[in-house]
Amino acid sequence: MSYLSTQLIRWHKQFGRKDLPWQIDTNPYKVWISEVMLQQTQVQTVIPYFLKFIKRYPDIDSLANSNENEVLSYWSGLGYYSRGRNLLKTAKIIQEEFDSSMPSCSEKLESFPGIGKSTAGAILSLGFKMKAPILDGNAKRVLVRYFKVEDPIDLNKTTKQLWNIAEENLPNKECNVYTQAIMDVGSLICKRRNPDCIECPLKKKCISFNEKIQNLLPNKSPKKEKPIRQLYWLLLQNKHGEVLLENRNSKGVWEGLWTFIGFEEPISRENFQDRLPKGYELLEEGLKLRHTFTHYKLDIDTTLIKINKDFQDLDNNKVWFNTEELSGIGLPSPVSKILKTFI
Ligand code: SF4
**For the segment 302-325, what is each residue's pLDDT rounded down to a tens digit?**
999 999 887 776 777 889 999 999
Own/partner contacts of 187-193, CB < 8 Å, gap of 24 or more, are 187/43, 187/138, 188/17, 190/138, 190/141, 190/142, 190/145, 192/141
Cβ pair 53, 73 in contact under 8 A: no
pLDDT at position 313: 65
pLDDT at position 251: 64
| Burial class for 168, CB neighbours closer than 10 Å (0-12, 13-18, 19+) | exposed
Q: Reply yes or no on whether 35 is catalytic.
A: yes
> Mean of the pLDDT values across residues 21-29?
97
DSSP-assigned beta bridge partners for residue 243: 237, 321
Q: What are phi and psi of 44, to 5 degrees?
A: -65, -35
Q: Which atom of ligand 1 is nearest to the CA of 145?
A: 3
Residue 181 to residues 6, 40, 132, 150, 185, Cα–Cα distance (Å): 11, 19, 14, 23, 6
> Mean of the pLDDT values across residues 181-185?
97
Cβ pair 341, 287 in contact under 8 A: no
Work out the percent of the chain whose per-residue pLDDT is above 90. Answer: 81
The predicted model scores a pTM of 0.78
pLDDT at position 192: 93
pLDDT at position 44: 94
Residue 228 has pLDDT above 80, yes or no: yes
Domains identified in the chain and CATH numbers? 3-216 (1.10.340.30), 228-342 (3.90.79.10)
Ligand 1 pocket residue status of 122, Cβ below 6 Å = no
How many Cα atoms sit within 13 Å of 97 on the Cβ side? 11
Tens of pLDDT, residue by residue over 149-176, are 999 999 999 999 999 999 999 999 999 9
pLDDT at position 37: 97
Report how far ligand 1's centroid is from the alpha carbon of 3 (Å): 14
Q: Of 291, 290, 246, 286, give the one whose Cα is nearest residue 270.
A: 286
Task: Catalytic residue, from 35, 107, 199, 325: name it.
Answer: 35
Ligand 1 pocket residue status of 197, Cβ below 6 Å = yes
pLDDT at position 189: 97
Q: What are phi and psi of 145, to 5 degrees?
A: -75, -45
